[in-house]
Amino acid sequence: MVTNIWTRGVITTALIVLLALSWSNDLDRAAHEVTNDKFKRALAVAAIARAFNGVISVAQGTEVAIQPIGIGVTLSVGEILDPLNDLVERFSLLALFASVALGIQLTLGNILSSVWLSAILTIAILTYVVLIWRSTSANQSAMLRMTKRWLATIIFARFMLAVVLLSTHWIDTVFLADQQHQAMTTLASTTTAIEQLQPTHPDIAITAPEDAGFLDRTSAQLSAFLTTSAQALDLQKQFKSLQQQVSASVEEMINLIVIFLLQTLLLPLLGLWLSAWCLRAFWRWSQTDTAN
């Protein structure tokens, strides 16, 4: 029961501030902007993942062959990309799921910021303020307890989603944004490395005029051997570099999966659960406080 005049004034002021915040929609606009930006980024990442998956699918059937004077050197891109292929497909589905989850959050934010909920909140606040400033009785105490609990529930419904979304954005900006940018940079670099290996290197024809002498034929063969050997060494270096980039991409892909799960599922659910827990604790406290 609220008996102290100063306490009543503080509560009334705080509720008026909440009411002004509800009708101004400033908090909702901020939450909508950050969530919409995250939604666009999730769609962009999903598109990049699909393109990456397409590059891998094409590259898996590619074999680059160099044959200097009958000595075959065949390098298979698919063997290197096998560990990454399945992971990319799963990540593409996760990125699409993240986009859907963010779209649902945007829709719920629009619903909870409607004028109807603000009007209901206004009625609840006015009712509660009138009750705490009137002289108390047993019947009024029961009504005050019920009004307080309903008011807390309406405030929870009106503001908690926006607060959770803004809190998630803050955590994302401080702890996750750099990791996500680094992961996307690594994937882009790996995509470029895979595409550079797509063109096959044709065999070097060992030709010399039919009437050429022994030295001319030997010189042509030696030139072809040196050229194709240099290509083979260059390709082997590229394949070794690609193996390193694929290993890094697998690690960064796992980091992206963790980031997307945190951004779109775990952190929002954790925030809502904590808010609901606080609401239930307030309900229990308000019943004890009114009874006393």
- How many domains in the chain? 1
Question: Measuring CA to CA, which residue among 263, 52, 83 is closest to residue 255?
Answer: 263
The reported pLDDT for the residue numbered 203 is 45
Range of the domain at 66: 5-291
**Secondary structure letter of residue 202 according to DSSP:** P
CA distance 235 to 201: 10
The reported pLDDT for the residue numbered 135 is 56
- Cross-strand bridge partners of residue 65: 74
The reported pLDDT for the residue numbered 1 is 47
Q: Which residue reads 């659960």 in tokens?
A: 273
Longest Cα–Cα distance of the chain, Å, equals: 122
Q: Which token pair is 127? A: 């009712």
The reported pLDDT for the residue numbered 57 is 74
The reported pLDDT for the residue numbered 69 is 43
pLDDT digits (tens, 9 = 90+) for 159-179: 999 999 999 989 988 888 888
Low-confidence ranges of the chain (pLDDT < 50): 1, 66-71, 138, 199-209, 213-218, 222, 225-226, 229-230, 290-291
Query: What residues have CB less than 8 Å from 89, skipping those under 6 apart?
Result: 53
The reported pLDDT for the residue numbered 240 is 72
- Cross-strand bridge partners of residue 147: none
CA distance 71 to 66: 8
pLDDT digits (tens, 9 = 90+) for 191-210: 777 777 654 444 444 444 45
The reported pLDDT for the residue numbered 61 is 63
CA distance 121 to 148: 12
Q: Which token pair is 291? A: 């009874």
